[in-house]
Structure 1
């Protein structure tokens, strides 16, 4: 199936073909046509499955076909996302998709001065990408009105819950028109998110891409059984022995991420940490350095990692095992994208054995035990 067969119109097709986006991913194949027909969507898909295009392309097409010349631009589509990094990434995708449509969009998020964002909003936009805090702030200042919104996307709903944004979302929902299309995406479906989805979706079509099937086949997965206090030495040795160019290391805590970065830098391995306590500028700088391969190793917490989209990332290391088994799949899914091979290494201490069992139960696959020794 091609995007043309999904009835995507010529200006969008032209932009997609320039970027060599020819074949839709499974989530796009399932979601685009129903969304073009104004159907509400409940999408279960992790980052990296192509869901940004799955919700963006139908919205852009509908806005393009329903343009009213001479009328002041108002926000007709709102895309709400939990992190600044992910908001910027979505906005970058919109730059590509809207290239020949005349549709205008902008992104707003906290942690930076609002002036430049306000100027873009006042110039008139069709699509707004936003994080909850900055959106509520600008609404309270009467800079933003959502009265004309016809398409509402709630992306990464489970992360909204993790980050404590559910109350903000519940404050926003009454500000949106009742008559609108809602596209709701989440990688996992805890009870609070399931309840929220039922309250805002009308007769939704459920589309699902099972994360285990999308990553397991293309990623080599290895487990290292190691005492907790020996993990740092193992990490240094692995990174010195394995010369892969780009390595993403996951830490369970912000403090742990900073500590790992200090240990690696002391060992002469170029690294930076990225997490929620870093300033927006520091996070963007670290991410930019990693993407340009100026920094070889990036240490991230799970929340900060949503929005890290690096071409040909070769290696992911789970320094700490995640509390939630689905998070393991999200982590290793950063590598092995677009048909490329990838490698994932997991360091497991005795205290983490129960977490390992949950991961292997979810994926239906026993991790290969590495014989690497210190």
Structure 2
């Protein structure tokens, strides 16, 4: 029995771990693996290189495989299915306080304080002009219209939902504007979607109210579902199975008559209604990484860990930009169990209906502070809202958040909002620094070190002071600021020579700083072989540069902290923080 097996890890995983020369679990692995295997939400705080990736990949991989094994052996539970092939409102893609009648054609909410929404079981995409009717059957507040699968159920409060409310306001992205007139009990609202012309319009009791929304070209390929949101109200729906009270305008057809090739099923409704059988494009685990390099690294680790997990085979997929999206769509269609990806490409596939969240058992945010710093907080919350909190076989969604700086306010706030009584695995503390890390700070004083006066002729900086009066002997703040920037590159060279650095990662604050330092290093010929890694470099170049550094073909990797976050490079003695003010 391996040391990892003592924590509940499968022997097949233990064998693969042994071959990777992982003799003993790290501290974070020893604490986190049993917690995740036990079904809890976990927050992990530990420095880079502590084994966080293995701490969440191993238990997730094990549970995914065990779930697939249970399905293979018929040990699955069933749920009540919404089996109708007709167009209806979904029993599953709705908020808890919104009721749907058994025929799926009437929705009701009796909550007087909050809005509750629902989407239909099918949607339309690509092209065509479609119509359905919604009738107000009781007094209250309502809003009806169209939304994509990724939109909030609170219709019209984000950019992916388009609603028309009883107050006579149209709504998108929380922008409420006058449109038509108010409506109430017994009024019939016609909802029209033209994917051909890229517009949404409404009718009231047969009267055309004109164009309400124009769809951006980029939004026309999304799949749009009939949607409603209610506050202490009730509405009924007719998708065309029964005669309409008011005929749709010319060139529009009942949505239930949409050609099959332009119809997609609501993946939330379809997934929740089915037996707990795998849906090809609905993975059990979604792992989000802040950079392409870290996503590739995590996916590679999963591939190594699963080496001896057979019958069934766990299928993983890397979802990042810079790769042909059609290849990723084809792999999703063929069947995927674990998806590792970056936020942008994940969002594209989810919005397009190619990646479903209906069977997601694990939602993992690796390097969470990096994701939030990059502005993905809203996306994370939106994806979390779409994932059913209880899977179709009755298991609760587990969330794992990892970061080297878990005590950041933004991370704590997000964890409190999204996670379910998480357990902290905190091996860092608020201000802890590993004993193996030694800090050296070098002060740069351009008034004492005048070398900048000669260096400035061939050292390029960020150009902030390009129009200022920078000259030798000048002591203005602008001159001294520029002088410091000029000297930092030289001080970096001095540090490398002083400590005989044969390999080092050099972090710069900005992408421009990276480019300038790379240019300065190369001005010394072959003495300081280096490559650059940041978000403006093309994916192929970033991958090649990282591999060159890992294989010691170059000595120095110059990068931003976001681009190089969490990268696993063994045997690295030095790193420098080359920070420009």
TM range (shorter): 0.7 to 0.9
For 2:508, the equivalent position in structure 1 comes to 251
Question: Contact 1:83 / 1:307 at 8 angstroms: preserved in 2?
Answer: no
Relative to its length, the structure with more helix (as a share) is 1
Q: Does 1:276 align with 2:535?
A: yes
Aligned partner of 1:194 in structure 2 is: 412
* Contact kept? 1:261, 1:299, Cα under 8 Å: yes
Measured after TM superposition, the shift of residue 114 of structure 1 is 1.1
Q: How does 1:1-374 map to 2 (within 5 A)?
A: 2-67=3-68, 68-69=71-72, 72=278, 73=280, 74-101=282-309, 102-179=313-390, 180-188=397-405, 189-210=407-428, 216-227=434-445, 228=484, 229-268=486-525, 269-320=528-579
Quote the Cα distance in structure 2 between the aligned partners of 1:221 and 1:155. Answer: 26
Paired with 1:212 and 1:192, the residues of 2 have a C-alpha distance of: 14
TM-superposed deviation, 1:124: 0.9
Local SS of the residue matching 2:506: strand
Q: Rg bigger for which structure?
A: 2
Larger RCO (alpha carbons 8 Å, 6+ apart): 1
Instruction: Give the deviation of 1:242 after TM superposition.
Output: 4.3
CA shift for structure 1 position 187: 2.5
Superposition CA RMSD, Å: 2.1
Q: What is the rounded CA distance, in whole Å, between the counterparts of 1:172 and 1:211 in structure 2?
A: 29
C-alpha distance in structure 1 between counterparts of 2:514 and 2:326, whole Å: 32
Distance 1:18 1:272 in 2: 31
Q: CA deviation at 1:186?
A: 2.5
Q: Which residue of 1 aligns with 2:140?
A: none
| Cα distance between partner residues in 2 of 1:244 and 1:215 | 22
Q: Distance in 1 between matches of 2:499 and 2:404?
A: 31
Shift of 1:213: 9.3
Whole-angstrom distance in 2 between the partners of 1:216 and 1:37: 29
SS in 2 for 1:38: coil
1:312 CA displacement: 0.5
Partner Cα separation in structure 1 for residue 429 and residue 550 of structure 2: 24
Q: Please give the TM-score of this superposition, normalised by the length of structure 1.
A: 0.81
The structure with the greater share of residues assigned to strand is 2
Q: Following the alignment from structure 2 to structure 1, what is the Cα–Cα distance between the partners of residues 517 and 429?
A: 28
Task: Give the Cα separation in 2 of the matches to 1:156 and 1:90.
Answer: 12
2:555 & 2:523 partners in 1: Cα distance?
A: 14
8 Å CA contact retained: 1:158, 1:186: yes
- Deviation digits for residues 233-268 of structure 1 (CA, Å, limit 9, x no counterpart): 222233345443321111111111100000000112
TM-score (norm: length of structure 2): 0.53
Rounded to whole Å, the distance in 1 between the matches of 2:431 and 2:54 is 20
Measured against aligned partners, the alpha-carbon deviations of 1:42-61 in whole angstroms (never above 9, x if no partner) come to 22223321111111111111
Secondary structure of 1:248's aligned partner: strand
Shift of 1:136: 0.9
Question: Is the Cα contact below 8 Å between 2:367 and 2:566 reproduced in 1?
Answer: no
Q: Any idea what SS the aligned residue of 1:183 has?
A: strand
Q: Tell me, which stretches of 5 or more residues in structure 2 are unaligned?
A: 74-276, 391-396, 446-483
Cα deviation, 1:153-185, whole Å, max 9, x if unaligned, reads: 111111111101111112211211112111122
In 2, Cα distance between the equivalents of 1:36 and 1:136?
28
Deviation at residue 319 of structure 1 after TM alignment: 1.8
Q: CA deviation at 1:296?
A: 1.1
Task: Please list the CA deviations of residues 63-103 of structure 1 after superposition, one character each: whole Å capped at 9, or x if unmatched.
Answer: 22222228545411111121111111100110111111121
Unaligned 5+ runs, structure 1: 322-350, 352-374
SS in 2 for 1:273: strand
Instruction: Please identify, of 55-64 and 110-119, the stretch whose mean Cα deviation from structure 2 is larger.
Output: 110-119
Greater CA drift, 185-194 or 99-108: 185-194
CA distance in 2, matches of 1:216, 1:42: 19
